[in-house]
């Protein structure tokens, strides 16, 4: 039999983090002591009470069945309660909330609900590669919105040509931002709402990092903005908030008709999330006020350690107010790729080349805080040595 891949597969670039894993594994196989600051995968265990709740619920035979795709009512009620307490946003659990199998799954199915072949999808870059790739899968005309330091890493909506905006069906946003660690305030979201309303664009705000904030500066929800619910949805994940990356659970919230589009796609694509995971996630959300501060405290200490290390190495960066990323300028004369390669070869440190997130990421690398403080200190010492 002659087998060939679909064109959409053949045209895919190598997935950024697969390439990083390959480099890391090759170096480790050669005996190198690798400090991996490349992938944003929390190294802190999931809080014990959440794990204990999972174990209790997994032992109950009635939970060993196909779940309801939109999510158990107890989970959706927990989401609504958390949104009310955290953001002051009131949600109707029966129609304005649907579960997703992690934010990546939810994001990847959004274009299926709202985009026809040839429609424009507006994608921030540098940005999470999934936004553009999954839009391309449905035949979208992907148009990138550059994020630059000059504009505080916010898309310049005024720079989008009217002919492009009028053809746009969907816009992705992500704040706190991966990879730049930038945040967006109410004023900017107000501009987004007006822009989306004028051009009939559905906004999908990826809010995975709202709970990883520092100095008491709480990021806002897109849905706090007047009119936001009429133009878009917000997707959240428990992965970063509660160190539950492997659990694969999150949720989409917003106007019933918009969230319902995603829910309809998912009802034909998957069979929901294992019920004990949903019940443990509900516990996490119900107890967020006691479970998340210790996690933030760890990352805030690490932020200080890595900032000191990067400063000692003479590297330029903006202190992140949220997320667990540092967006660091490459030394003069170095590209994103060359500097990342030098770090691996000379310092045995994995960092993500900014160019892997899009052309505007050239000249930067991304470091994560997903390593213990002593390893971050050691990473700084190695970088200083490599740059001598």
**305 domain residue, yes or no:** yes
Q: Are 100 and 106 in contact (CB under 8 A)?
A: yes
Give residue 17's pLDDT. Answer: 60
**Measured distance CA(234)–CA(374) in Å, rounded:** 36
- Strands 120-125 and 141-146, by their bridges, are parallel
Which pTM was predicted? 0.95
Residue 131 lies in a domain: yes
Same domain, 16 and 136: no
Instruction: Indicate which CATH number applies to the domain containing 358.
Output: 3.90.1150.10
Cβ atoms of 169 and 204 within 8 Å: the answer is: no
Name, in order, each residue with C-beta under 8 angstroms of 303's C-beta and a sequence gap of 6 or more. 214, 319, 320, 324, 369
For residues 282 and 369, membership in a common domain is answered with: no
Domain shared by 25 and 112, yes or no: no
Please count the other Cβ atoms lying within 10 Å of the Cβ belonging to residue 167: 16
What pLDDT is stored for residue 142 in this prediction?
A: 98
- Is 214 found in the same domain as 274? yes
Which of 252, 267, 289 is the last residue before a domain boundary?
289
In the chain, how many domains are there?
2
* Three-state SS annotation for 219-283: CCCHHHCCCHHHHEEEEEEHHHHCCCHHHCCEEEEECHHHHHHHHHHHHCCCCCCCHHHHHHHHH
Mean pLDDT by 10 residues, the chain (388 residues): 88 69 79 91 96 98 91 97 98 97 97 98 97 96 98 98 98 98 98 98 98 97 97 97 97 96 95 96 98 98 97 96 97 93 91 94 97 96 93
Same domain, 265 and 330: no
Last residue of a domain, one of 289, 319, 351: 289
184 with 103, same domain: the answer is yes
**Which residue range(s) make up the domain with 27?**
7-45+290-387
Q: Is 106 contained in some domain?
A: yes
DSSP 90: -
């Amino acid at each position: 039999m002659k087998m060939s891949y679909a064109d959409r597969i053949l045209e895919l670039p190598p997935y950024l983090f697969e390439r990083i894993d390959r480099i890391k594994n090759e170096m480790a196989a050669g005996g190198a002591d690798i400090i991996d600051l490349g992938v944003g995968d929390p190294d802190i265990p999931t809080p014990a009470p959440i794990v204990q709740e999972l174990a209790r619920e997994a032992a109950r035979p009635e939970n060993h069945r196909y779940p309801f795709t939109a999510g158990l009512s107890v989970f959706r009620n927990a989401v609504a309660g958390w949104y009310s307490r955290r953001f002051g946003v009131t949600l109707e659990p029966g129609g304005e909330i649907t579960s997703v199998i992690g934010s990546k799954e939810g994001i990847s199915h959004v274009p299926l609900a709202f985009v026809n072949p040839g429609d424009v999808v507006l994608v921030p870059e540098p940005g999470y590669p999934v936004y553009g790739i999954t839009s391309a899968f449905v035949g979208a005309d992907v148009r990138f919105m550059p994020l630059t330091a000059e504009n505080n890493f916010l898309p310049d909506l005024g720079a989008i040509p009217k002919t492009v905006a009028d053809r746009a069906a969907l816009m992705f946003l992500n704040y706190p931002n991966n990879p730049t660690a930038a945040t967006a305030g109410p004023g900017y979201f107000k501009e987004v709402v007006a822009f989306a309303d004028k051009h009939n664009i559905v906004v999908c705000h990826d809010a995975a990092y709202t709970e990883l904030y520092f100095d008491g500066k709480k990021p806002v929800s897109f849905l706090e903005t007047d009119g936001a619910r009429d133009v878009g949805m917000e997707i959240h994940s428990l992965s970063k908030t509660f160190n539950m990356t492997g659990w694969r659970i999150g949720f989409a919230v917003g106007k019933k008709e918009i969230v319902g589009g995603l829910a309809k796609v998912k009802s034909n694509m998957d069979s929901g999330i294992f019920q004990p995971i949903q019940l443990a996630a509900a516990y996490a959300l119900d107890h967020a006020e006691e479970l998340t501060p210790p996690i933030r405290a760890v990352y805030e200490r690490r932020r200080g350690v890595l900032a000191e290390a990067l400063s000692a190495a003479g590297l330029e960066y903006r202190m992140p107010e949220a997320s667990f990323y540092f967006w660091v300028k490459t030394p003069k004369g170095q590209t994103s790729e060359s500097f990342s390669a030098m770090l691996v070869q000379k310092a045995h440190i994995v960092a993500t080349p900014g160019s892997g997130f899009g052309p505007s990421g050239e000249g930067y690398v991304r470091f994560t805080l997903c390593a213990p403080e002593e390893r971050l200190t050691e990473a700084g010492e190695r970088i200083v040595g490599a740059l001598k």
